[in-house]
Amino acid sequence: MPKGNSAAAAPRTMIVTGASSGIGEALTRAAAARGYRVVAVARRVERLEALRASITDGGGRCITVAADVTAPESAARIVDAALRDFGRIDVVVNNAGGGTTGALLEQSDAQLDAQWRLNVVAPLRLARAALASLEPVRGVLVFVGSGSARIPLPQWGAYASAKAAIRAAAIQLRRELRPRGIAVTYVDPGLVATEFHSAMGIRRPNGIVPTAPDRVARAILRGIERRRAVVNATPLQSLGTLLGEFAGTLADPLIRARFAPRPVATAYEEPIPPCHPELVEGRHSHTPSMEAALEPLARRMERVKLPQSFLREALVADQTLEFNALAMRWAGMPNKNERAALREALDALAAAGYLQPLEDEKWQVLRSAQ
């Protein structure tokens, strides 16, 4: 970050999405150890709280926001939480992502839409929400991409298309925002030892040694500090991607033969439930109890007298919840604090898989409370 700026001398704040595992978790820990105050964002409430407790027990500063980043209201919630607790935003790392395998034209509208919203729309929405806070401190926007943005791999066409779009968006934003003092960094992480592949029920490609998430996190932090336009977290893998892209059609036979997804077949290698189960049709992830999902909000709910029993009764499968109607049913004419608490509770339930955010402050109930 720039020297000689009084704002830059204050403790810095970083937002990290997809913080409950993999690169996001590693970056959250590394940034906190480096003195950043971190806003960790993810859907999995229990993992987020374990991460927060670990960091704060070690003397770091971390708050969590349980949210589905694809929900239209999540960007404002994340930015508001950062400003409320820390007063500023210096870095936004758009790390949350995911995809599905399958021939491009055989993927459903729901799968295509989910990948586009998660990998393209959500990062741009959060960047837009944070822009006014980043400009005064000459902040940094980070977009975590993929080598498949340059070399689409077999059966990953929809994911590759979305990552190619966010790579192009990062280049565009770098040029647009430079006059405003905001740096934009695009990260090619390479093949990383995370849950990404197992969440989809497939194995990682043979012949490439996966990089540890901690190494990628360190590379991202260096890129942020140096305000780099591009971070190739695993340079040799990035070089291979560059050569493959340059080879064009000559590389097609090798890519088809070497990089087709292989299903997980062994009994001891269980797929890990994805953070965004809507990306994988027919696959169900473990859903925590309603009590566990709401535990981080328990004190706040007690202060505004929002009982879990009210929310339990509202969770009727396949019904649609409309925010204003639900708020009035609970509190008559709810005040600002009551509305905020109810919204946080609904977002926590969405993060835990009970609700699916819709447009216009509505949620679809996916399952009743356990």
Task: Give the C-alpha separation, 104 to 338, whole Å.
Answer: 45
Contact in structure between 274 and 283 (CB atoms under 8 Å): yes
Q: Is 354 a catalytic residue?
A: no
Take residue 324 and report the two structure tokens written for it: 């204003």
Burial of residue 116 (number of CB atoms within 10 Å: 0-12, 13-18, 19+): middle
Point out the catalytic residue in the list 159, 186, 268, 354. Answer: 159
- Report the C-alpha gap between 23 and 18 in whole angstroms: 8
Instruction: Quote the CA–CA distance of 281 and 316 in Å, as a whole number.
Output: 22
Cβ atoms of 17 and 95 within 8 Å: the answer is: yes
HSE (side-chain half, CA atoms, 13 Å) at 279? 25
- The helix/strand/coil state of 30 is helix
- Note whether 210 and 191 are within 8 A (CB): yes
Total count of residues recorded for the chain: 370
Calculate the CA 141 to chain-centre distance: 14
Burial 207-246 (b: 16+ CB within 10 A, else e): eeebbebebbbbbbbebbeeebebbbbbeebbeebeebee
The helix/strand/coil state of 33 is helix
Active site members: 159
